[in-house]
A and B are shown apart, each in its own frame.
Chain A
Amino acid sequence: MLDLTYETPKPKIIAGAKHDWELVIGMEVHAQVSSNAKLFSGASTTFGAEPNSNVAFVDAAMPGMLPVINEFCVAQAVKTGLGLKAAINLRSAFDRKNYFYPDQPAGYQISQLYHPIVGEGEVIVDMGPGIARCVRIERIHLEQDAGKSIHDMDPALSFVDLNRSGVALMEIVSRPDIRGPEEAAAYILKLRQILRYLGTCDGDMQNGNLRADVNVSVCRPGDYERYRETGDFSHLGTRCEIKNMNSTRFIQQAIDVEARRQIAILEAGGQVDQETRGFDPDKGETRSQRSKEEAHDYRYFPDPDLLPLEIEQAWVDDIASTMPELPDAKKARFMGDFGLSDYDASVLTAEVEAAAYFEAVAAHADGKLAANWVINELFGRLKRDEKDIADSPMSPEQLAGVIALISKGDISGKIAKDLFEIVYVEGGDPAKIVEERGMKQVTDTGAIEAAVDEVIAANPAQVEKAKANPKLAGWFVGQVMKTTGGKANPKAVNEIVAAKLGL
């Protein structure tokens, strides 16, 4: 069994003017489902198309058009649920969430308020070696995305593009188990990692394919534990919801300033109003969006156009049988099978493509060496070229070839770096290149002895000094390495130099 035990991190404490405060954070993450077509229409989900070209009549809410559900989007939500160790609801249903906005042509969003497709699950959020926060997931429901409004193309008009209207979203709702800004950032990144492993969302935060509403409240030390024991929310403070964040940096800043705002109100004897707030990164403050909230009486009701979504356990089992190895299991296996450190295993499992690359290298080479070369040399080299692992000009077999030559003692570590660069830039078989270009390490003691003799004969003054001060032997080793073009086995050179100098 894999070792997945961990310790719980301490919550973030903010010192107020009067006493200490703790943060309590819950997140609603909207993840765009990776699919070809939309949730209820056959229009494409491709990003960056001509405005209003990826729109079917149902996405534009033309009268008389009816939604027909995309079964693959349902499968993706189920897969995500399984990936978060969550309960799958074989019967779920769709509701209408009513509100008017120009990029919402139907006047309602189809969502799942009363009967979501996925129930309770959990996400383990790593906060350091052996330290992790278990964040409980309350539910995941399927819903439609809205269109996009552009406000800066005309002084008097807003421009509306419905390409995104109707694209499937998964709203992943956490319990208030996140206890600080760093944990919030780590939570969304862990979620992103799992979704990318599953292939259910591409996790592109910049394009808004993964974004979060963050609920923040503050409480006194001990209150949170009382809430966890009793399940009674009255032990917690009043929360505010910060809407629509798509950067981990802004999420952290927003939580911090919002918590401090609430603490200042409470310490002055005031009350926090439950409301929706927006974060302004330029001013570094959150602002009330209450005017909007008043209009948001959503009047949910079951969507009469859609029957309940009933799925079969056998279908869920089929999806379960296609589940990939997930980050926690992969990391634990890398640590166990290859003896990697927690840090190295985390780095290598951050992206599923990098993990696969490493495994392909480690299949033919020592695991720890493979990890070092992938992390330090290959990642560094790719970064310089601004390339992804998928575009690496060097195959795992080629890198394994380089490492095998080091392990065999055919090349020194220094030559290996030169060889790495040659293979990376020119391609080819590492063993052949070493042979053809005479890069092989000289382990023949006769040849090394000759080189040492030569250096000693040419530098009698240095010899005297070295005899008085044995530390200077290193100078001879350096000279020999130079005359042999770095190909001499450093260990052999050391021994021979010491013997010849009589040290």
Chain B
Amino acid sequence: MSIDESTAAKVASLARIRVDEADLPALAADFNRILGFIEQLGEVDIEGVEPMVSVTPMRLKRREDVVTDGGMQDKILANAPDAREGFFAVPKVVE
């Protein structure tokens, strides 16, 4: 798998990270080095091996259906650049 400049630009755009045109070749090269490193894993024989999803032998922790949280509008909004009447206020987004 090889990442060209336009793919690098698309990944950046999907991640909402601004990348100058001039930086795209270096970014694409970085991606390719990372992928190349990871592709070494392709050499391992995984025939019949279940994918490992966790290194801890744990069961997914569950909670009961009880309201234990919330009721802190002020704290939720505390870091918002702009908040009005209990809402986050953001630049207009209309489809």
**Could you tell me which A residues sit within 8 Å of B by CB distance?**
35-37, 41-44, 50-57, 60, 68-74, 93, 98, 100-102, 149-151, 153-162, 278, 289, 292, 295, 297, 299, 302, 306-310
Docked complex: B58-89 residues within 8 A CB-CB of A: 58-73, 75-77, 82, 84-89
Chain A contact surface mostly: loop
Could you tell me if A43 and B67 are in contact, using CB atoms closer than 8 angstroms?
A: yes
Chain B binding surface, main DSSP class: loop
Residues of B within 8 A of A155 (CB): 92
| CA distance in complex: A150, B93 (Å) | 9
Residue of A nearest to B67 (CB): A44
Q: How far is the CA of A69 from the CA of B59 in the complex (A)?
A: 12
In the docked arrangement, what's the CA distance between A155 and B91, Å?
Answer: 10
Query: CB-nearest residue of chain B relative to A93?
Result: B53
Check if B61 sits within 8 Å of A68, measured CB to CB.
yes
5 more A-B contacts (CB under 8 A) besides A52-B87, A71-B64, A72-B65? Answer: A42-B68, A55-B76, A60-B76, A101-B93, A154-B92
Instruction: Knowing A93-B53, A151-B92, A307-B53 are in contact, say whether A51-B63 is a contact too (CB < 8 A).
Output: no
A-B contacts counted at CB < 8 A amount to: 136
B54 interface residue (CB < 8 Å to A):
yes
> What's the Cα separation between A44 and B72 when bound, in Å?
12
Nearest-Cβ distance from residue A291 to partner chain B, whole angstroms: 8
Is B45 an interface position by the 8 A CB rule? no
Q: Is B18 an interface residue (CB 8 A)?
A: no
B62 and A53 within 8 A (CB) = no
Residues of B within 8 A of A (CB): 10, 14, 16, 53-54, 58-73, 75-77, 82, 84-95
Instruction: List 16 A-B pairs, Cβ < 8 Å.
Output: A36-B66, A37-B67, A42-B66, A53-B73, A55-B76, A57-B75, A71-B64, A71-B65, A100-B16, A153-B87, A155-B92, A157-B90, A160-B89, A160-B90, A307-B53, A307-B54
Q: Do residues B63 and A37 form an inter-chain contact, with CB atoms below 8 A?
A: yes
Residues of the A chain whose Cβ atoms lie less than 8 Å from the Cβ of B10 = 297
Q: In this complex, which of B62, B67, B73, B90 has the most chain A Cβ atoms within 10 angstroms of its Cβ?
A: B67
CB neighbours (8 Å) of B61 from chain A are 68-69
> A69, B62: Cβ atoms under 8 Å?
yes
Tell me how far the C-beta of B11 lies from the nearest C-beta in chain A, rounded to whole angstroms: 9
9 A-B pairs with least C-beta separation: A42-B68, A72-B65, A159-B87, A42-B69, A43-B70, A56-B69, A51-B86, A160-B88, A71-B62
Docked pose: A100 CA to B17 CA in angstroms: 12
CB distance from A68 to the nearest CB of B (A): 5
Assembled-state Cα–Cα distance A27/B10 (Å): 31
> B54, B61, B63, B85 — which one has the most chain A CB atoms within 10 A of its CB?
B63
